[in-house]
Amino acid sequence: MSEKLQVAVAGIGRMGMRHARHFATLTPRAELIAVCSPVQAELDAAKEEFGVRTYLSFDNMLANEKTLQAVVVASSTTVHAEQAIKAIEEGYHVLCEKPLSTSPEISQSVVDAYRSSVKSYPKQKVMCGFSRRFDASYRDAFTRVSNGDIGTPSVFRSQTCDKLDPSGFFVAYAEFSGGIFVDCSIHDIDLALWFFGEDSKVKSVTAVGITAVQPELRKHNDRDNAVGIIEFYGEKTAQLYCSRMMAAGQMDCTEIFGTNGEIAVNTQPQSNLVNLFESTGVRREIPPDYYGRFREAFITEANEFTAACLNNDILPMSLEGAVKAVRIGSALQESLVSGEKIDFDESGNRVEAARL
Amino acid sequence: MSEKLQVAVAGIGRMGMRHARHFATLTPRAELIAVCSPVQAELDAAKEEFGVRTYLSFDNMLANEKTLQAVVVASSTTVHAEQAIKAIEEGYHVLCEKPLSTSPEISQSVVDAYRSSVKSYPKQKVMCGFSRRFDASYRDAFTRVSNGDIGTPSVFRSQTCDKLDPSGFFVAYAEFSGGIFVDCSIHDIDLALWFFGEDSKVKSVTAVGITAVQPELRKHNDRDNAVGIIEFYGEKTAQLYCSRMMAAGQMDCTEIFGTNGEIAVNTQPQSNLVNLFESTGVRREIPPDYYGRFREAFITEANEFTAACLNNDILPMSLEGAVKAVRIGSALQESLVSGEKIDFDESGNRVEAARL
Amino acid sequence: MSEKLQVAVAGIGRMGMRHARHFATLTPRAELIAVCSPVQAELDAAKEEFGVRTYLSFDNMLANEKTLQAVVVASSTTVHAEQAIKAIEEGYHVLCEKPLSTSPEISQSVVDAYRSSVKSYPKQKVMCGFSRRFDASYRDAFTRVSNGDIGTPSVFRSQTCDKLDPSGFFVAYAEFSGGIFVDCSIHDIDLALWFFGEDSKVKSVTAVGITAVQPELRKHNDRDNAVGIIEFYGEKTAQLYCSRMMAAGQMDCTEIFGTNGEIAVNTQPQSNLVNLFESTGVRREIPPDYYGRFREAFITEANEFTAACLNNDILPMSLEGAVKAVRIGSALQESLVSGEKIDFDESGNRVEAARL
Amino acid sequence: MSEKLQVAVAGIGRMGMRHARHFATLTPRAELIAVCSPVQAELDAAKEEFGVRTYLSFDNMLANEKTLQAVVVASSTTVHAEQAIKAIEEGYHVLCEKPLSTSPEISQSVVDAYRSSVKSYPKQKVMCGFSRRFDASYRDAFTRVSNGDIGTPSVFRSQTCDKLDPSGFFVAYAEFSGGIFVDCSIHDIDLALWFFGEDSKVKSVTAVGITAVQPELRKHNDRDNAVGIIEFYGEKTAQLYCSRMMAAGQMDCTEIFGTNGEIAVNTQPQSNLVNLFESTGVRREIPPDYYGRFREAFITEANEFTAACLNNDILPMSLEGAVKAVRIGSALQESLVSGEKIDFDESGNRVEAARL
């Protein structure tokens, strides 16, 4: 067996620890060697679990880990781009949690950094982790669509709906999340681009949102439920729903309607293969959160990213696509707030004058 | 439109009232003209609802209703055969609730009466109402099996499982019901004969039962849960489950496994097309009782029986089959009690000596 | 049993014949006495099946049927309003197929005629037949929502998606249908008003459509797939999808997301309770068309309309609501064509100036 | 992180290679160091994939691998017991594929060897791998049953049904498989003992089998479809179905009916969360084979066995239970062939005389 990819994880909060665990124990070709976090308690927990070197400073980690090959950026969204760019410029492979940034411009700067760096490090891999692309069911759906099984995919409907968290966490979180379309629907937008083609051109976006359970979200220009339409050039359209109000658990599902059939992913959500027959009827549980639904996809992501770095394989998705998804998400969020439909010409420029 | 079939219903307890309602209001070609019952309150209710003539005596009803053409026997099982035979002998069409009798011999006497009577009344129709044969889903399954869609049907699995009735009703009822295999599984046995062919020859039956919730059933040689095997000559076998202990509602489902596929009926029971997403997961309700599951089938039965009488059509099932089902059900019940497997030769005679 | 409601059906094409059949044979308290149609062959078929009097002229039918009490208007949409108004003005009960008209103004004129007529005929009943309101599953959902089971209903998602008809029928039909939002989504809009309350105030509508399979629809300003958003005042929003491109059959489903749970109707469509296990996996069929899905609802509609006429009961829905649904559907269709979002103030007036 | 368990795999045919892969790459705390097989090509493939030492002889492997701690016996069933006993006697931890042997007596000899050996090696772990016990859905079901969620589990129904393999493989395989009840239903029997309690006492077994597709199986006293009943003392019973004739794929499901509810595992089998809407209806695929259904369970098994060896934890199931399952499976197979019901007294002895 070949040598193992030497990996560090930046940011080891809830999601970062999961990435660390996937690389440390469930990615045979990778070796987790270091983690960093500004929180000492998190470092202690990681040291205890993985026996790795720990750093309070991202820069120090890069400076000291001489054998390091790849960095997983799982820190808070506000520093994604900064850390990713630093790692890129030093030639490391980078797996950055989504989104690169809540700002399309900053997201673009990561791509720019990579385009510049890859001239010096031609085998360098940089990926924004859209975990659903690694999910077995979505992949099955994509293969079928690619095979022409449903004809031309024409209408795309997808939702990312989180379980209600009555603690108020989402209100505080909304200040930095970029809003529900950037935070949640970014996945659905990425999927739309995947299924329709990454070169799909947006013709318009419209969004409407409400605050059904957490009116305080409005102070951050956010909503707890929102619906949106992305119109594409070439007879394609996408319909989105995002929510933070689900009672039963994580409800992420996608349907692709083609000229000759439809494929549905997870429209009948479930935790496992158990059904309970009780005096109140038949019941099944569903995953309580995003990780409960997509854990296997994250592990696949870690393994495939590792393989791509070691083998110099082409990554399954482009970094440009991640910027495009942020751009669309931001436009939807803007429409949500302004109440205006936003039109684009075929070059991607806004068509503002049309309404005057 | 042709004249309406003049119908009377004998026995208007819960099920009899339903039959009366089906014929009075949901069978356009029938007219309900009379009912009988030994219970005056039932007669009053029927008179109120249907405006029909009422009789405390079955015999009086037959004697007085000069225009009567068809009798629905929905009285208690113990008088099914007696009333059916009387009506048969006077030339009426008869729709008799299942079973003809809990005794195979008495059931046979109904067939004998009909065989004799039909010589005088060649257009006379007599049917034992196995309602599932009129259910749209079972019919769809049967059509597919008949078309050869699953190859040769080889293994048949079916269950009739009632919701738990904690009132103790079933204990009292068990005294006259013929036991759980005759009362519940009779439907599954009839279906096995339908799907395998009514000329199928039983090679052996075995049954095991338990009293999980109502040990008092044992005093009537009955059980609250039982499983059984019917082995047929010609590489076919059936597996049965009957229960009076279901928590969620009526759980009647059937699977037919063929050499080239399988058809399942109602293995995902449901009341309607509603799913509820709650903090405890996803839930749907299921029908609370047999009628909740099969109401439409009973109405179809009423309409098709009526049409067969008026048009002199061949009935969809033979009266002999009803006797065969009772015979098999009785044998299973006997095996349940004795703990012995019961073998039959190809002529249908018991093979007792084999074990000695 | 009381006397039977004397009913005539105007228009006996495919749907009209079904209504005729429901009233003639499946509505015990109604009697079908006459039908009219400009097509002699249709009259012949109806005479053959029902033995009723037939008329080539609607006016002649009304003039000649002295015992007539109720008229079912099932003619082509273009004459719905005219026939309904004539019948209303003569004091008949009227059940009019949806929509009253594709024009909100003409639809309103039916309401106006009724408001005027009901002064003279205080027991007169006039209903626009939104069949889904009579469907057992939708009613179950509505009862639960009314009971507060899901908290405050906040997001409504619904679709009416027809099986692809490659014959080109829909292109010709589009000339008079009012467009896909008026023809198909009218049901979903009516349901949104039902679940959110008929007094809900629309804040904006937006729609996007494509022609994925039938580009000729554009000459009638129509599309074969469209998505729309209805924003309501008071933190509620609806998301619609309508299509004429489904491969598998009729796909009508609805989800109501509340602050405390969700109810889904028919998100797992099926024809019956049969599942087929084949070499290609597990398969079930789904209804091929609208009637296949909603036949029972139409029959319930016929019976309840009849009962309301005979008993002078309040109808389950207001005629005004039917106009409101047409108004919203027309606005969505307009947005589909213009590409503009349409805003409304709380009085229901358009807010045109806002964008200047 | 602690040191890794040093593991060898004996037998690297299809299933053995999977075990090797699980231990080599998906069990972080284990290290695969050697494999053995009488087939050189298999050794070459393993060397290529894992870089491990290879042996044509099981004995040589044990003799030469000085650091070896645990042996996975995945060779052909006929040598399971022999290899397991050798490894046990030398003090290795052993994970043996099911069944220990098709013979209850030989199976017992493995237990005897372990009981003797464990006196010298008190931390030694020996487990027969019933993979379903490691499946997340079965574990969820077990937890619920243990919590009393369904009251007293009373009726157990389970099936192991393989996809039809038209190659004739199963006919050759039947010579050594022990028959369909020992080969397939052994899993269901193990589950019955798990859910009812490993101390459950069998009162009787009965089985019936047919050859619907492969009559040649009869020459090895086997069948391609069989049904069976296990009656337990204490008001419990199990109903089994095993088949090698499924069209759609692997169909393994289990239902546990309790006095207060039911739990169903995999009664709606599926490969993943994808549904396909096609002109023929709605379709989903199901796993083609046992491994497709239970891959995750095998990986969990490898990890938990490893942890138990390293931590000296108690294994999740007893070796005695594995013998009991073989004993019951053999009795069912005997009943299948003889056509006789087999009764047992409460001490587990056969009651032969009862019938004379």
Question: Tokens 């002649």 identify what position?
Answer: C60
CB contact under 8 A, B136 and C266: no
**Which of A179-188, C163-172, D138-147 is predicted with the least confidence, judged by mean pLDDT?**
C163-172
pLDDT tens sequence across A305-328: 999 999 999 999 999 999 999 999
Q: Are B318 and B198 in contact (CB under 8 A)?
A: yes
pLDDT tens sequence across A247-304: 999 999 999 999 999 999 999 999 999 999 999 999 999 999 999 999 999 999 999 9
**Could you give phi then psi for residue D301, rounded to 5 degrees?**
-55, -45
Q: What is the pLDDT of residue C170?
A: 85
Is B316 part of any domain? Answer: no
Whether the CB of C279 is below 8 Å from some CB of chain A: the reply is no
Task: For chain A, count helices (H), then strands (E).
Answer: 11, 15
Q: Kindly list the partner chains of chain A, i.e. chains with 3 or more CB atom pairs below 8 Å.
A: B, C, D
- The Cα–Cα gap between A10 and A62 comes to 10
Determine whether C316 is exposed, middle or buried from the number of CB atoms within 10 Å of its CB (0-12, 13-18, 19+).
middle
Q: Are A178 and A102 in contact (CB under 8 A)?
A: yes
- The Cα–Cα gap between A37 and D168 comes to 60
Query: Which pairing describes strands C261-265 and C251-258: parallel, antiparallel, or unpaired?
Result: antiparallel
Instruction: Please give, rounded to a whole number of angstroms, the shortest distance from the CA of B253 to a CA of chain C.
Output: 9
Task: Indicate the residue among A80, A111, A129 that finishes a domain.
Answer: A129
Whether residues B172 and B257 share a domain: the answer is yes
Whether residues D171 and D53 share a domain: the answer is no
Whether residues D115 and D53 share a domain: the answer is yes
Contacts of A112 (CB under 8 A, 6+ apart): none
Is A319 part of any domain? Answer: no
**Could you give phi then psi for residue C162, rounded to 5 degrees?**
-90, 155
pLDDT tens sequence across C290-302: 999 999 999 999 9
Question: What is the pLDDT confidence band of residue B168, given thresholds at 50, 70 and 90?
Answer: confident
Give percent above pLDDT 90 in chain D: 94
Question: What is the pLDDT confidence band of residue B170, given thresholds at 50, 70 and 90?
Answer: confident
Is C262 part of any domain? Answer: yes
State the sign of the Cα–Cα–Cα–Cα dihedral C29, C34, C38, C42: positive
Q: Are A191 and A132 in contact (CB under 8 A)?
A: yes
Tokens of A324: 């495009």
Helix (H, G, I), strand (E, B) or coil at B110: helix
With the CA atoms of C147, C150, C154 and C157 taken in that order, what torsion angle do they form, in degrees rounded to the nearest 10? Answer: -100
Question: What is the pLDDT confidence band of residue A170, given thresholds at 50, 70 and 90?
Answer: confident
pLDDT above 90 for A356: no
With the CA atoms of A67, A70, A74 and A80 taken in that order, what torsion angle do they form, in degrees rounded to the nearest 10? Answer: 110
Q: Are D265 and D273 in contact (CB under 8 A)?
A: no
Domain that holds residue D146: 133-292+324-343
Give B247's contacts in chain A (Cβ within 8 Å): 277-279
pLDDT above 60 for D354: no
Q: Kindly list the partner chains of chain C, i.e. chains with 3 or more CB atom pairs below 8 Å.
A: A, B, D
Give percent above pLDDT 90 in chain B: 94
Whether the CB of A66 is below 8 Å from some CB of chain B: the reply is no
Question: What is the pLDDT confidence band of residue A1, given thresholds at 50, 70 and 90?
Answer: very low
Cα–Cα separations (whole angstroms), residue C55 to C21, C22, C74, C80: 17, 20, 14, 17
CB contact under 8 A, B279 and A248: yes
Cα–Cα separations (whole angstroms), residue B232 to B149, B207, B242, B348, C259: 21, 15, 20, 11, 56
Structural domains in chain C (count): 2
Q: What is the pLDDT of residue A353?
A: 52
Q: Are D200 and D327 in contact (CB under 8 A)?
A: no
- The Cα–Cα gap between C206 and C342 comes to 6
CB contact under 8 A, B282 and A283: yes
Q: What is the pLDDT of residue B309?
A: 98
Rounded to an integer, the average pLDDT of A144-166 is 97
pLDDT tens sequence across D321-337: 999 999 999 999 999 99
Q: What's the CATH number where C177 sits?
A: 3.30.360.10
Whether the CB of B337 is below 8 Å from some CB of chain D: the reply is no
Is B306 part of any domain? Answer: no
Q: What is the pLDDT of residue C356?
A: 43
pLDDT above 90 for D1: no
Amino acid occupying residue B16: G
Whether residues C35 and C87 share a domain: the answer is yes
Q: Which of B208, B332, B181, B174 is nearest to D154 (CA)?
A: B208
Whether residues B110 and B143 share a domain: the answer is no
The mean of the pLDDT values for chain D is: 96
- The Cα–Cα gap between C164 and C214 comes to 10
Instruction: Please give, rounded to a whole number of angstroms, the shortest distance from the CA of B351 to a CA of chain C.
Output: 38
Is C238 part of any domain? Answer: yes
Give percent above pLDDT 70 in chain A: 98
Whether residues D76 and D199 share a domain: the answer is no
Give A265's contacts in chain D (Cβ within 8 Å): 273-274
Task: Indicate the residue among C101, C129, C157 that finishes a domain.
Answer: C129
Q: Kindly list the partner chains of chain B, i.e. chains with 3 or more CB atom pairs below 8 Å.
A: A, C, D
**Could you give phi then psi for residue B147, rounded to 5 degrees?**
-75, -5
What's the residue count for chain D? 356
Rounded to an integer, the average pLDDT of C3-23 is 96
Q: Say if residue B28 is preceded by a cis peptide, omega within 30 of 0.
A: no
State the sign of the Cα–Cα–Cα–Cα dihedral D304, D309, D312, D317: positive
pLDDT above 70 for D14: yes
Question: Tokens 């099984």 identify what position?
Answer: A149
Tokens of B294: 């099969």
Give C282's contacts in chain D (Cβ within 8 Å): 248, 268-270, 283-286
CB contact under 8 A, A1 and D50: yes
Is B245 part of any domain? Answer: yes
Helix (H, G, I), strand (E, B) or coil at D52: coil
pLDDT tens sequence across B50-98: 999 999 999 999 999 999 999 999 999 999 999 999 999 999 999 999 9
Instruction: Please give, rounded to a whole number of angstroms, the shortest distance from the CA of A243 to a CA of chain B.
Output: 14
Q: What's the CATH number where B122 sits?
A: 3.40.50.720
Give A343's contacts in chain C (Cβ within 8 Å): 339
Q: What is the CA radius of gyration of chain D?
A: 21
Is C114 part of any domain? Answer: yes
Whether the CB of D150 is below 8 Å from some CB of chain B: the reply is yes
Cα–Cα separations (whole angstroms), residue D145 to B244, D153, D156: 20, 7, 12
Whether residues A232 and A199 share a domain: the answer is yes
Is B355 part of any domain? Answer: no
Whether the CB of D272 is below 8 Å from some CB of chain A: the reply is yes
Rounded to an integer, the average pLDDT of D150-162 is 98
Q: What is the CA radius of gyration of chain A?
A: 21
Instruction: Please give, rounded to a whole number of angstroms, the shortest distance from the CA of D331 to a CA of chain A.
Output: 30
Cα–Cα separations (whole angstroms), residue C343 to C185, C198, C352: 19, 19, 7
Which residue in chain D has the smallest CA separation from C165? D279
Give C150's contacts in chain A (Cβ within 8 Å): 247
Whether residues C123 and C141 share a domain: the answer is no
pLDDT above 90 for A169: no
Question: What is the pLDDT confidence band of residue B151, given thresholds at 50, 70 and 90?
Answer: very high
Rounded to an integer, the average pLDDT of D249-269 is 98
Determine whether B120 is exposed, middle or buried from the number of CB atoms within 10 Å of its CB (0-12, 13-18, 19+).
exposed
Question: Tokens 């309003």 identify what position?
Answer: C81
Tokens of A152: 């031309």
CB contact under 8 A, C25 and B28: yes
Residues 284-313 of chain B with CB under 8 A from chain A are 284-286
Cα–Cα separations (whole angstroms), residue D134 to B72, B174, D311, D323: 56, 42, 18, 19
Rounded to an integer, the average pLDDT of D218-231 is 97
Q: What is the pLDDT of residue B59?
A: 98
Whether the CB of D273 is below 8 Å from some CB of chain C: the reply is no
Whether the CB of B282 is below 8 Å from some CB of chain D: the reply is no
Question: Tokens 């009697």 identify what position?
Answer: C31
pLDDT above 70 for B194: yes
Q: Which of D315, A153, B107 is nearest to C247 (CA)?
A: A153
Whether residues D215 and D339 share a domain: the answer is yes
Long-range pairs, C336-339, Cβ under 8 A, ≥24: C336/C179, C336/C180, C336/C181, C336/C207, C336/C208, C336/C209, C336/C223, C336/C226, C336/C228, C337/C221, C339/A204, C339/A341, C339/A343
Which residue in chain B has the smallest CA separation from C262? B277
pLDDT tens sequence across C211-260: 999 999 999 999 999 999 999 999 999 999 999 999 999 999 999 999 99
Q: Are D232 and D198 in contact (CB under 8 A)?
A: no
Whether the CB of D148 is below 8 Å from some CB of chain A: the reply is no
Whether the CB of B33 is below 8 Å from some CB of chain C: the reply is no
- The Cα–Cα gap between A58 and C12 comes to 77
pLDDT tens sequence across D82-131: 999 999 999 999 999 999 999 999 999 999 999 999 999 999 999 998 99
Amino acid occupying residue B222: D
Amino acid occupying residue B177: S
pLDDT tens sequence across C186-201: 999 999 999 999 999 9
How far apart, in Å, do the first and last CA atoms of chain D sit?
Answer: 65
Whether residues A235 and A215 share a domain: the answer is yes
- The Cα–Cα gap between A8 and A87 comes to 11
Q: Are D69 and D90 in contact (CB under 8 A)?
A: no
- The Cα–Cα gap between C9 and C55 comes to 10
* Eight-class DSSP state of D350: B
Q: What is the pLDDT of residue B217?
A: 96
Rounded to an integer, the average pLDDT of D169-180 is 90
Q: Kindly list the partner chains of chain D, i.e. chains with 3 or more CB atom pairs below 8 Å.
A: A, B, C
Contacts of B238 (CB under 8 A, 6+ apart): B155, B156, B157, B158, B188, B189, B192, B196, B229, B230, B232
Helix (H, G, I), strand (E, B) or coil at B71: strand
CB contact under 8 A, C340 and A339: no
- The Cα–Cα gap between B164 and C264 comes to 28
Count of C-beta atoms within a 10 Å radius of residue D288: 15
Using CB atoms, pick whichever of A1, A136, A264 lies closest to residue D51.
Answer: A1
Whether residues C55 and C142 share a domain: the answer is no
Whether the CB of C225 is below 8 Å from some CB of chain A: the reply is yes
Question: What is the pLDDT confidence band of residue B356, given thresholds at 50, 70 and 90?
Answer: very low
Task: Indicate the residue among D129, D147, D182 that finishes a domain.
Answer: D129
Burial A285-306 (b: 16+ CB within 10 A, else e): bbbeebeebbbebbbbbbbbbb
Q: Are C266 and C253 in contact (CB under 8 A)?
A: yes
Whether the CB of D54 is below 8 Å from some CB of chain A: the reply is no
- The Cα–Cα gap between D249 and D271 comes to 10
* Eight-class DSSP state of A161: E
Whether residues B12 and B83 share a domain: the answer is yes
pLDDT tens sequence across A180-208: 999 999 999 999 999 999 999 999 999 99
